[in-house]
Structure 1
Amino acid sequence: MIGRLRGILASKQPPWLLVDVGGVGYELEAPMSTIYDLPPVGKEVVLLTHYAVKEDSVALYGFLHESERALFRNLQKVSGIGAKIALAVLSGVSVDHFARLVQAGDVVALTKIPGIGKKTAERIVVELRDRVDGLGAGAPGVAGKAAGAPLDAVGEATVALQQLGYKPAEVARLVQKVAADGDAAEAIIRKALRVALGGQVPA
């Protein structure tokens, strides 16, 4: 079981990361909440990890904060939610915001997250209401995929949003609405998610 990685951030193409640990490259999938706060490529990073083994695949997920990993794991205990939807939740809202939505029973807001319908949102409220207390912001973990051809910022944002579950036509609309000259991929994704979840384009 791999619980934590410390190494050099070799590549960052949302939602994929490549971390070089002593010459071994670990490929991880991470929520945008983690990607927003990563150091520049080439710098050291410490990630908390979740190692998932299925019959036909092995996957590694990375998080900067224990609260993110805890929520990722708790979400998958809800019937109908897998890793993809759990990542979409963490990418769309902060842990604190999600906890407030659940405690308030705000089913409508939860259904704006890709992959979450009304029944799943209702199950989340019922099953997680007692588990989200105290998650807080948490402490940091101490201190195409990554191997593909590099994309420009708009291309990276488009790929990341589609991997989070948004349909291509919706992604194109969101990116066109929020992208500005000079924006990094993370900035475009952050603004697009804010609009998709019912907010306004930040100034």
Structure 2
Amino acid sequence: MLEFIKGKITKLDKNKIIVEKDGFGILIYVPDCEKFSDEDKVYTVLKVKEEEIRVIGFKTQQEKELFNKLTQIHGVGEKHALAILGTFSVDEFIDIIDQSDIESLTKVQGIGKKTAQRIIVELKGKIYFPENSLIQDLVKTLINLGFDKDQSYKVVKEILKVEDNLEEVLKKAISTLASHT
């Protein structure tokens, strides 16, 4: 219903911002206000509870999707999800899930060992955000060659950290994935 709001940010407070749009000031709860600039696009989720309507905002579409996945996990509410996204970037969080790093997750206020374990079990292998069209194209190519989507994503992401030649990235990815088969 309310996918995003683009407007002038008139107030920044630790976990809240106010976006002015067409004469309205919209209060938006965010994981971390420091991610936003004066004029910005804020991806939003509208939450309606009994007598309260809240708009929750994110800097990227990936953060928004991750928030939605987190709040679907039993025992993880809005506050926990916002605390996680305020503590870790999307990439850091994905790495924590992939490595089953319970210790890092328990550093987030309100997240205990059992909740951290539940988050990892529920999300491991289910988070996939191609950051750019290059990664997306490389992963699609590898999938078309018969490789697993999640493994292809991880391999391409790792190789791109050290290699920027498209042809070499594809060769190394095929070689790495073929050796794991």
- Please, what TM-score do these two structures have when normalized by structure 1? 0.62
Runs (5+) with no aligned partner, structure 1: 140-203
Q: What CA RMSD, in Å, does the superposition of the two structures yield over aligned residues?
A: 1.7
**Greater fraction helix:** 2
The one-character-per-residue Cα deviations of 1:87-139 (angstroms, maximum 9, x if unpaired) are 0000111111111111111111111111111111111111011222x225579
- State how 1:1-203 maps to structure 2 within 5 Å: 1-32=1-32, 35-40=33-38, 44-132=39-127, 134-135=128-129
Which 4+ residue blocks in structure 1 deviate beyond 4 angstroms? 136-139
Q: Report the residue type matching 1:93 in the other structure.
A: F
Distance verdict in 2 for CA 1:118–1:138, change over 3 Å: farther
Contact 1:66/1:138 (<8 A) preserved = no
Secondary structure, in 3 states, of the residue corresponding to 1:131?
coil
1-structure distance, mates of 2:99, 2:60:
24
2-structure distance, mates of 1:6, 1:109:
33
Identical counterparts, % of pairs: 33
- Please, what TM-score do these two structures have when normalized by structure 2? 0.69
2-structure distance, mates of 1:59, 1:28:
7
Larger RCO: Structure 1 or Structure 2 (Cα < 8 Å, ≥ 6 residues apart)? 1
Q: How many residues align?
A: 133
